[in-house]
Structure formats: structure tokens, C-alpha cells
Amino acid sequence: MKPSTLRRACLHRLEELRAQGLDLPRPFDARELCRRVGAAVGQPISLVAVPMPSGAPYGLTFFTDAGHIVAYERRTSRVHQDHIVAHELGHVLLGHRSFALDDEAATRLLFPGLRPTMVHRVLNRDGAYTRAEEQEAEMMATVLLEESGRHPGPSADRDLSPGDAALQARLRHGLEHPTG
Ligand SMILES: [Zn+2]
């Protein structure tokens, strides 16, 4: 799908959600956005900052009986964390399936933390998002950040510093596709 088409689709989806009462926090606030998105999709969403294991994506969303858990990399900048969370919420808002966890695994995720073996087991068992889903979630993240007054707009890619560009490339191509 062309970026402009994808962007329109994301804006359209956001309009639908707004019509159902979703109001985006301005300025951007990851925790508040999770609370509101959770209310919009009828599933509570918890945020947990963890040191993501080596080889794992920066963010992962799990589905449990008690709602969604968005795990995101603790050891990175706030701006990057906001982007990771927005991307994960993009998956949620677009109705992409997340990785199912039973209660015991969910408890282990929250305490004492996400372990490499668990990440790989989950990813291997459930597969990963498709490339198209990754692009959709990334565009939704851009739209969410923009609509919350963050992010420069559709020309963002051109204006990225090399570090940001590398980050975006990793987000686009590797986020849910850890190797090894
Ligand atoms: Zn993703």
C-alpha cells in the first residue's frame, strides 16, 4: 500500500475511534494514551518498561485474560519509548492480534521481567506480525504522535537524522522479527 493511502486509512480509523469517543491526549502522554485506547477497544492496557532481551524487539504487546500488556524497552530515550508505545498501540487500534499469554506467563512478564526464553518462545509459537501489519502500525504510530502534537508530519522520513533513520528502519523491518 502506498504511504499516502496507508496514512489516509489510519486517519480514517482514527476518525471512527473519535466518533466512538476516543480523545487523544495533548500533549502526548503514553500512559494516558494507553488508558484511553484501552477504553476505546474495551480492554485495559498496562504498560511495563523492561530491559528487552538481546535479539528481542523494542516493544511487544501481549494479550492476557486481564487485557493487553505493552512491554517496551526501558533502556532508551523517552522519545523513543513514546514511539515504541505508539507503534504497539497502533497494532491494537488496527485490530492486529497480539501474542497470547496465560496468567502464569503474564505474571512472570510483570515480575521479575521479560526473559529471553519467554520472548523467543512466544514469538516462535505465535509467529510475528506481517510486514504489512508492521507498516500499518508504524503509520498509525506516526498519526497518533502527530495528532497528539508530537512529530513533524508526513515528511518525517526525510528529516530524520541518521540515528533516527536507523531506528525507523529497525522499527519497520525488525520490530517483531528478532533474529536468532
Ligand atoms: Zn510492530
From ligand 1's centre to the CA of 21, what distance in Å? 25
Phi/psi region, residue 85 (left: phi>0; alpha: psi -120 to 50; beta: rest), is alpha
From ligand 1's centre to the CA of 71, what distance in Å? 12
**Cα separation, 43 vs 57, whole angstroms:** 23
From ligand 1's centre to the CA of 106, what distance in Å? 20
From ligand 1's centre to the CA of 90, what distance in Å? 8
Q: What pLDDT shows up at residue 135?
A: 94
Edge to edge, the sheet with strand 99-100 lists 45-50, 67-73, 59-64, 99-100
pLDDT string in tens for the chain (180-residue length): 899 999 999 999 999 999 999 999 999 999 999 999 999 999 999 999 988 888 788 998 988 888 899 999 999 999 999 999 999 999 999 999 877 777 777 777 666 667 777 777 767 665 678 889 999 999 999 999 999 988 654 444 444 444 555 555 555 544 444 443
- The domain spans of the chain are 3-174
- Whole-angstrom CA distances from 105 to 29, 108, 175 are 28, 5, 21
Q: What pLDDT shows up at residue 68?
A: 92
From ligand 1's centre to the CA of 103, what distance in Å? 23
From ligand 1's centre to the CA of 179, what distance in Å? 15
Best CA proximity match to 104, nearest among 70, 44, 62, 73: 62
